[in-house]
């Protein structure tokens, strides 16, 4: 029965997390492409460029930052809201009549919240990686990682 509780908890909050995480990935991809284009244009044109060329990466960067902050905050709010509605709201009457213990209900909410928070954090890291990868030379990354690994083994 615990598995069914988890399944329905994921069903109830899945649509919110899917939309939120899809927006993070989409904005990261658009911002990455825009910054790459902007750096190529800046290399070709020198210092001068149009105002729109300078404002677009800034606007997308601010949007991405706001989306990350909003993602973290909305994750917390969704968790609190679902717990409140499903235990203390109208749904609580039906939830508490299920043939499970209250510990299982609370544990299913806790596990679902932890998994969704972890998934949200992974998506944010993936979004930042999408943003950074086009701007970094892979040779530099490999050299830096090898230096870090060697430094750890020396200590």
The answer, as to whether pTM is greater than 0.75, is no
Q: In angstroms, rounded to a whole number, what is the distance separating the alpha carbons of residues 6 and 82?
A: 13
Q: In angstroms, what is the C-alpha Rg of the chain?
A: 22
Q: Which residues contact 109 (CB under 8 A, 6 or more apart)?
A: 9, 82, 83, 86, 87
Q: Which residues contact 29 (CB under 8 A, 6 or more apart)?
A: 130
**Running along the chain, 155 residues long, what does each successive block of 10 average in pLDDT?**
85 84 87 78 61 72 85 88 85 82 88 90 88 78 80 60
Please count the other Cβ atoms lying within 10 Å of the Cβ belonging to residue 137: 8
pLDDT of residue 144: 80
Residue range of the domain that includes 60: 2-154
pLDDT of residue 118: 92
pLDDT of residue 92: 81
Cβ–Cβ under 8 Å, residues 109 and 117: no
- Tally of structural domains, the chain: 1
């Amino acid at each position: 029965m615990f598995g069914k509780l988890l399944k329905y908890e994921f069903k109830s909050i899945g649509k919110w997390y899917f939309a939120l995480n899809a927006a993070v990935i989409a904005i990261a991809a658009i911002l990455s492409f825009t910054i790459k284009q902007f750096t190529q244009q800046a290399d070709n044109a020198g210092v001068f460029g149009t105002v729109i060329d300078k404002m677009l990466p800034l606007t997308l960067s601010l949007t991405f930052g706001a989306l990350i902050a909003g993602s973290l905050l909305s994750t917390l709010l969704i968790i609190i809201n679902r717990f409140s509605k499903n235990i203390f709201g109208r749904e609580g009457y039906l939830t508490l009549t299920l043939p499970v213990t209250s510990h299982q209900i609370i544990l299913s909410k806790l596990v679902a919240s932890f998994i969704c928070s972890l998934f949200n954090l992974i998506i944010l890291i993936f979004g930042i990686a999408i943003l950074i990868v086009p701007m970094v030379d892979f040779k530099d990354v490999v050299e830096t990682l090898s230096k870090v690994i060697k430094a750890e083994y020396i200590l």
